[in-house]
Amino acid sequence: MTSTPARKARKTCAVLHRLLWALFVVQALVSVVVEPPYPYAAGWLPFLAAAALGTGLAVTARRAAARVPSEPVEIDPPVGGTWSALNSPADRVPSHGTHAYGQAYAIDIVAEDPDRPRPAFAALAPLARRPDAYPAFGAPLLAVVDGTVVHAEDRQRDHLGRASLPALAYLLLVESAVRAMAGPRRVTGNHLVLDLGDGTYAVYAHLRRGSLRVAAGDRVTAGQPLAACGNSGNSTEPHVHFHLMDGPDLDTASGIPFVWRGVGVPRNGETFTAPAREDCPRQAAGGPSGRRPGG
């Protein structure tokens, strides 16, 4: 999609917004040990500017989202087998509480395996779990239609699952804020963007490190294995974050509604089964390693 002046301006504001937050945090930490060479009140200027920019970005994102056609795009599911939905657009829009990163209609799904159930969330211990303790870890992700890869990366690590209240609090209060200041690629972690044509792009987030089977510029066909589910980025446990958007840039795109053939749009907590494909084995590639998946 050709970049418009409005998208360029939004991109500039998004980058400036993150820089202002980073500047405020850095100068606040430094001022604990070193007396700043400016009045105390001046240290709050980056905070106020970032807050104002953030409000403006949120307003423009909502206005842009209101212009997106409401007719959902019909596509295949990005996975096979049995999964459950969380943070679904069938229950609310925006599904993740924000229009940022084009994720108004995003959905999170976790794998369900009766022979290897997801580990239970703990109050205190264990604090965290290895990602391979979760049945979603390593599950193949499939192309939802024929398309072209416009972005693909898988070098970020898969971190431990946030399996306890202390770990979840750390994610929500510390790690998520740091990732947000670093930009969308640190929020989505390893991710893939597909151009589906007609101004529609699909995002697969939190991929497993080293699991990509495609690269930018590759043409793919519906059902083709693309990568594996992981636990990179802003994520509490291995899961698939999927959404459609109207541009390739997470900073400037608006979300587009979708419906999965044979599945629809599962509601929060709803379990669904998508057709499994014999040519899509669970991937073994990759690096080491609220109960609601984040991002």
Place of tokens 């239609």: 145
CB-CB contact of 93 with 61 (8 Å):
no
CB-CB contact of 260 with 77 (8 Å):
yes
Residue 54 predicted with pLDDT over 60: yes
User: What sections of the chain are H helices per DSSP?
Assistant: 5-33, 45-66, 165-170, 176-182, 184-188
Higher pLDDT, 292 or 233: 233
pLDDT at position 281: 44
Backbone angles phi, psi at 130, to 5 degrees: -65, 145
pLDDT at position 293: 47
CB-CB contact of 208 with 286 (8 Å):
yes
Task: Name the CA radius of gyration of the chain, rounded.
Answer: 20
Model confidence at 277, in pLDDT bands (50, 70, 90)?
low
* Predicted confidence (pLDDT) per residue in 202-259, tens digit: 999 999 999 999 999 999 999 999 999 999 999 999 999 999 999 999 999 999 999 9
pLDDT at position 248: 96
Residue 285 predicted with pLDDT over 80: no
Is beta strand 73-75 parallel, antiparallel or unpaired with respect to 258-260? parallel
Q: How far apart are CA 255 and CA 265, in angstroms?
A: 15
Q: How far apart are CA 100 and CA 77, in angstroms?
A: 23
Q: How far apart are CA 249 and CA 152, in angstroms?
A: 13
Is beta strand 147-153 parallel, antiparallel or unpaired with respect to 258-260? unpaired
Model confidence at 124, in pLDDT bands (50, 70, 90)?
confident
> What proportion of the chain, given as a percentage, has pLDDT over 70?
92
Give the three-class secondary structure for 135: coil
* Predicted confidence (pLDDT) per residue in 155-213, tens digit: 999 999 998 999 999 999 999 999 999 999 999 999 999 999 999 999 999 999 999 99
* Predicted confidence (pLDDT) per residue in 13-27, tens digit: 999 999 999 999 999
Work out the angle at residue 72's Cα, subtended by the Cα atoms of residues 70 and 77, and round it to the nearest 5 degrees: 155
CB-CB contact of 113 with 177 (8 Å):
no
Q: What is the pTM of this model?
A: 0.90
Work out the angle at residue 148's Cα, subtended by the Cα atoms of residues 144 and 98, and round it to the nearest 5 degrees: 60
Higher pLDDT, 163 or 260: 260
What single-letter DSSP state applies at residue 125?
A: S
Work out the angle at residue 191's Cα, subtended by the Cα atoms of residues 187 and 192, and round it to the nearest 5 degrees: 145
Model confidence at 69, in pLDDT bands (50, 70, 90)?
confident
Mean pLDDT over the full length of the chain: 91
Provide DSSP, 63-94.
HHHHTS--SPEEE--SS-EEEEEES-TTT-SS
Per-residue tokens: 151: 């972005």
